Amino acid sequence: MSCAGRQPRALFPVWLLLMLALVLGSCGASGSLPPTTPIDALQPEPLPPGSRLTVLATTTLVADLLRRVGGDLIDLHVMLTPGLDPHSYQATPGDMRAASGADVIFVSGFGLEGSMLNSLADSFPGVPLVDLSQGLQPLGGAGSASSNPTDVDPHVWLDPLNVVHWAENASRALGRLDPENQASYAQYAGQYAGRVEQLDGWIRSQAGALAPERRLLVTGHLMLDYFARRYDFEVLGSLVHGYSSEAEASARALAALEDAMRSTGARAIFIEQGSNPQLAETVAGDTGARVIELYVGSLSQADGPAPDYIELMHYNVRTIIEALQ
């Protein structure tokens, strides 16, 4: 994990890594979250000649963003692998070994990583935790702005303009940690932001072709509020009223949602790829809707339909439009 020419950090004993792994993994931001490091407070990392900044990303989406902004100037590692749901993720001793060698840990933010953040902060107090979402205004469950850090929608990347903000934050953070390459990070971030802004225009054109009365979204859990706000969709409801796929359903709320789906003619229930489809299939059977999987919290494998963020959004938008036509 250490870079050439650098003194490696000591690794923890296996028994301690196993104990840490047992307590990691809940995505829901229950209780207080540890403070993350403000970007302006980051200090240059002393890097020996010929070595690179060692960067750890919590999720595949965070890693994809850092890969675009950091390029070959950073040594990038990611805790989650493609296909793993951050909501039900259980960390491993290998994850903790990776974290022990990092100069900086980048997180998605707004509680997505949940108790993993507490464990990382407690176990590696000398490693800055940088929240890519710092500076964004989070949404609450009804799609309105929220200031409660334990009751907000963490799926900010489903509005591409938030990913432009991510790129700017990543560039600033990497530039402060590695001032020698600051200009390159800014250049890479600007180039990627341009691609994401083109993506935003493409999504607007696709959504504009769909009749407003058909822009109704029913989801497995609360996950498409940022997308809906940006592109003028209505979130009719979710099977579980929570930001995690691990949230529990309410029989009364499900009955009301089924009534709303019948009265509006909602055509699809969108669930996160890899999540348990049983509840969605039951509601679909009651209402005549289809169950449709989207890539939300994780990229696909490299040979899948969502190997990077831009392809993830292309896939999701095409899938949503096709299901609602």
H or E element: which one contains 194? helix 182-208
* Tens-digit pLDDT profile for residues 264-313: 999 999 999 988 999 999 999 999 999 999 999 999 999 999 999 999 99
d(CA 189, CA 170): 8
pLDDT tens string 225-279: 999 999 999 999 999 987 765 566 788 999 999 999 999 999 999 999 988 999 9
> What domains can you pick out in the chain, each with its CATH number?
14-200 (3.40.50.1980), 212-324 (3.40.50.1980)
Write down the mean pLDDT value for the chain: 85
Closest listed residue to residue 206, CA positions, set 230, 172, 222, 189: 230
Question: In 10 A of CB 19, how many CB atoms?
Answer: 13
How far apart are the C-alpha atoms of 296 and 316, rounded to whole Å?
Answer: 8
Asked if residue 167 lies in contact with residue 192, where contact means CB atoms within 8 angstroms, the answer is: yes
- Confidence at residue 246, expressed as pLDDT on a 0 to 100 scale: 57
Cβ contact 245:272 at 8 Å: yes
Does residue 42 surpass a pLDDT of 70? yes
> Would you state the pLDDT for residue 89?
64
Give the neighbor-by-neighbor strand order of the sheet with 104-107. 74-78, 53-57, 104-107, 129-131
Higher per-residue pLDDT: 91 or 81? 81
**pLDDT for residue 183:** 98
Question: Which is nearest to 270 in space by CA: 313, 320, 215?
Answer: 320
pLDDT(90) > 90: no
How far apart (Å, rounded) are the C-alpha atoms in residues 291 and 283?
Answer: 9
For the segment 141-156, what is each residue's pLDDT rounded down to a tens digit?
544 554 444 578 999 9
105-134 confidence digits (pLDDT tens): 999 999 888 777 877 888 888 899 999 999
Does the pTM exceed 0.95?
no
